[in-house]
Amino acid sequence: MLALSDTRANSFLFINSELTTLLIHHYGVCSKPLPHTILVTGYNDKSNSRITHYVHLTLQINNCQFIHMPFCIALLRNHDMIIG
């Protein structure tokens, strides 16, 4: 799994839409719609996609568990998740 950390993004947790599809298929995870669409702005200040859904997951780092954390589902080209 490839994770990118400390990106100074304006949200906390992002997960790749392709990985989310696998989690939904294998573990029965359910995605939920966001109350408002989030426009994604790239490094060149151009809006190129939208985030419309999120999923709650448990994140384990070393021996610490973060239970029921909301991950914004986005098209991440080179990473499986972004931890902000």
Give the model's confidence band at 83: pLDDT under 50 very low, under 70 low, under 90 confident, else very high.
Answer: confident
Q: What's residue 16's pLDDT?
A: 94
- Angle (CA) 76-72-39 rounded to 5° is 75
- For the chain, the distance separating the N- and C-terminal CA atoms, rounded to the nearest angstrom, is 16
Distance set, CA 52 to CA 10, 44, 78 (Å): 15, 22, 20
Q: What's residue 73's pLDDT?
A: 95
Strand, coil or helix: what is 58? strand
For the chain, what is the domain count?
Answer: 1
Tens of pLDDT, residue by residue over 8-35, are 555 679 999 999 999 999 999 999 999 9
Tens of pLDDT, residue by residue over 64-80, are 999 999 999 998 888 89
Q: What's residue 5's pLDDT?
A: 52
Domain extent at residue 59: 3-83
